[in-house]
Amino acid sequence: MEMNLNSQHQDNRFLAFDYEQVLELLKHRVIFKGTSQLFHYSVDQLQAGIDLQLEAIGIGGQQSSNMNPLRTEVKQRVKESFDKKKDAFDPGKKLNKMKEAMAWLEWYKKVTLKEGGYYDSFKRSEYRGRDAVKSRQEIVKHQRILTRYWKTMVAEVEKMPQREETAFRTRWLYAGTNYRRMVEPLDIAEYYMKSGNTDYVNLGRSEHYKKLEEWRKEDNPSGSGNYRRKSVSLTEDSCFWAYVEEAIINSKRLREGSLEEKENAMAYLVKFGGNVMTMIWSYSVSSEIFQPQSSFMNWWQEYRQDILRCLSNFPLANYMDNEVYRSYA
């Protein structure tokens, strides 16, 4: 009789146990060491780990039948926390949600082609009436969604051990590269819309873009355009429009600046022209840069005579002046 009373008392003690206290103890143990480690646990491994941790904090052994209610409850509660934490960082699940935002930008890129391309349409849209402003606001919303997501992703990857970081980058870098090439031009447009802003690459560029580009170069050090025979739809260098904006600034200096400013401007334009020709020869720049209303074409039309006069052997000047670009696409 005494044994039955003790057994009943023990069962009641476990049934009334404070599960929150157990969970709090378990949260700080191995199964919750870090978000990235959650991907390495199966459900069975997780439950086995809970049994071991219950024993470690002095709450029975796996053979104790009296522990079943407690163990079942704790497993369920920890599994819910596990799933919640895993979903919070599950890149596959969130990446699917980002596809809608990217689809909006792809649509915008397509419908604005005849307006000089989506870079220039985005820059000028706030001056083109209510409908243009509304479209721009919608694009800005999706731009912000994508940027928040990828900033978080880059920050999380940088916290991972090297082996996990490499595996993650291999799986998700393609999507990150497409994001960078699609969205960064919009950031560049916003940057140069503010009067007086210069040198986006060194003064205005977000660190997460730099990191995504660095990883891309590490993943593909030789580049991808060696055997390409047609132009890309997204310019590979996501800073291209920043270089164009700086070419416009330097062309003004070439026309109106001091002797020193003109010398520095000529040096920049020579470098700019060489880089653009490399992109053209490798088909790594989108044909939309040659749309009549693009910033690139406006730069050439505005400063053509200055460039031809000061840089007669400028390969890009010859390419543009002979209108070879008409066959590029």
Percent of the chain with pLDDT over 90: 51
Instruction: Label residue 64 left, alpha or beta by phi (over 0 means left) and psi (-120 to 50 means alpha).
Output: beta
Amino acid at residue number 22: V
In this prediction, residue 77 carries a pLDDT of 67
Return the higher-pLDDT residue of 3 and 290: 290
In a domain, 305, yes or no: yes
In a domain, 37, yes or no: no
Return the higher-pLDDT residue of 93 and 199: 199
Decide which of 221, 250, 270 is a domain's last residue: 221
Return the higher-pLDDT residue of 294 and 312: 294
In this prediction, residue 315 carries a pLDDT of 92
Claim to verify: residue 252 and residue 206 sit in the same structural domain: no
Q: How far apart are CA 17 and CA 59, in angstroms?
A: 10
In a domain, 79, yes or no: no
Claim to verify: residue 164 and residue 270 sit in the same structural domain: no
* Confidence grade of residue 323 (pLDDT, cut at 50, 70, 90): very high
Decide which of 164, 197, 221 is a domain's last residue: 221
Claim to verify: residue 186 and residue 297 sit in the same structural domain: no
Query: What is the average pLDDT across 283-291?
Result: 96
pTM, entire model = 0.72
- pLDDT averaged over every residue in the chain: 79
Is the pLDDT at 210 greater than 80, yes or no?
yes
Number of residues written out for the chain:
329
Weakest-pLDDT range from 159-163, 166-170, 180-184, 311-315: 166-170
In this prediction, residue 88 carries a pLDDT of 52
Is the pLDDT at 43 greater than 90, yes or no?
no
Whether the Cβ atoms of residue 280 and residue 274 lie closer than 8 Å to each other: no
In a domain, 68, yes or no: no
* Confidence grade of residue 238 (pLDDT, cut at 50, 70, 90): very high
Exposed / middle / buried, residue 87 (Cβ in 10 Å: 0-12, 13-18, 19+): exposed
Claim to verify: residue 281 and residue 163 sit in the same structural domain: no
Decide which of 221, 246, 275 is a domain's last residue: 221
Claim to verify: residue 102 and residue 182 sit in the same structural domain: yes
Claim to verify: residue 122 and residue 161 sit in the same structural domain: yes
Query: What is the average pLDDT across 32-59?
Result: 53
Claim to verify: residue 146 and residue 181 sit in the same structural domain: yes
Domains in the chain, number: 2
Claim to verify: residue 147 and residue 259 sit in the same structural domain: no
In a domain, 85, yes or no: no
Is the pLDDT at 185 greater than 60, yes or no?
yes
Look up the domain containing 161 and give its range: 92-221
Query: What is the average pLDDT across 237-262?
Result: 96
In this prediction, residue 247 carries a pLDDT of 97
In this prediction, residue 300 carries a pLDDT of 97
In this prediction, residue 17 carries a pLDDT of 46
